[in-house]
Structure 1
């Protein structure tokens, strides 16, 4: 379990040198978390890996809550997730602009299947495993981290709705599909990592087909 927030010092505004220090600390945090070791979600561990004291980390981020919120924002920036329209284009980048529904769904499935094994994704999974499961407790102990995670959910759903905005499907069904795709893809990625006995290409095609069929019948 990560240490709860112990003080409320606001993160400082940084100059160029301070920004470089801040970036180095964020990179150290992501590298540590990407190992998959839940113990890496430790203030002292991150400070040690960054070659700094915990006081120096607090100087940059205010507290552990500020650090985790900044880590989440860094990964969101890398994916273009802060701008839903850009994020939607990234999700369907392998499909033509006027591609049919099936190609767009397949593109999103492929992006997640590859992306969820990336170091940033592993880092976020490790952090989430160390944070409180209960939403109210998470918000109480780590309000900034909680707010960042909630913004992720909103931007993901908005990006999916944007990706299908010019297709004749029910936006509410798109919202439903967007809500379960990440969990479903984590299951397939886990199967790949464990060494699955299943044909995961077949599984991805089946999931794509099921989603397309559900969305196509949304106007029926």
Structure 2
């Protein structure tokens, strides 16, 4: 379905070009923000349009952030699913693929933008749902993408479902933590840290059932 204005009207060619430019600028601003909040006014200014144009396209800030998340998802879907990552044969190969995939993605423009956007929103999910309900729903959908991707990469291994669930809950936060260290530079050897994380996850998954 072609993008529409916030009022539900069809966008002409110029409107579509403006929308695409706004999303490009928004994603780049977020990616380059260094953790600082990014306002809609700044995005409008950098895109060379008025706040009224942003409102026409997206309605409000909630609408803008939903469109940004959707655009990031569409870009990631194309790049990630043209050639799905090889699952490998062993637990270690599978776990390393999961960790390396997230690690690499978090350092892309889209990954940094998504992290910056989430950081700029209220810390509690319940507060996001109140202030930005559509954005909260979009983030929940992206979490489902992670669950499906993890299940795909671990499919076919005879492993304890409870341990897999615990690992699936752990890894996004653990890898983001290492990625944050990559940004601030306090931890010098992150390759060793990632290997240690892989070792720990493999050891957990390989333990006999409790």
TM-score, normalised by the number of residues in structure 1: 0.82
Q: Which residue of the partner structure matches residue 117 of structure 1?
A: 107
**Correspondence for 2:200 among 203, 206, 210:** 210
1:43 aligns with 2:33: no
Distance 1:138 1:10, change over 3 A: farther
1:37-67 CA-partner distances (Å, limit 9, x unpaired)? 5555212111111111111111111211111
- Number of aligned residues: 204
Q: Which residue of the partner structure matches residue 75 of structure 1?
A: 72
**Correspondence for 2:116 among 126, 150, 154:** 126
Matches of 2:109 and 2:54, distance apart in 1: 22
Structure 2, unaligned stretches of length 5 or more?
Answer: 1-5
Is the CA contact 1:169–1:218 (under 8 Å) kept in the aligned structure 2? no
Matches of 1:130 and 1:55, distance apart in 2: 23
Matches of 2:38 and 2:142, distance apart in 1: 20
Could you say what secondary structure the match of 2:101 adopts? helix
Q: Which residue of the partner structure matches residue 3 of structure 1?
A: none
Query: 1:151: Cα distance to partner?
Result: 1.0
Distance 1:61 1:218, change over 3 A: farther
Distance 1:218 1:44, change over 3 A: farther
Q: What is the root-mean-square deviation in Å for CA atoms of aligned residues?
A: 2.4
Matches of 1:11 and 1:43, distance apart in 2: 21
TM-score, normalised by the number of residues in structure 2: 0.85
Matches of 1:37 and 1:12, distance apart in 2: 36
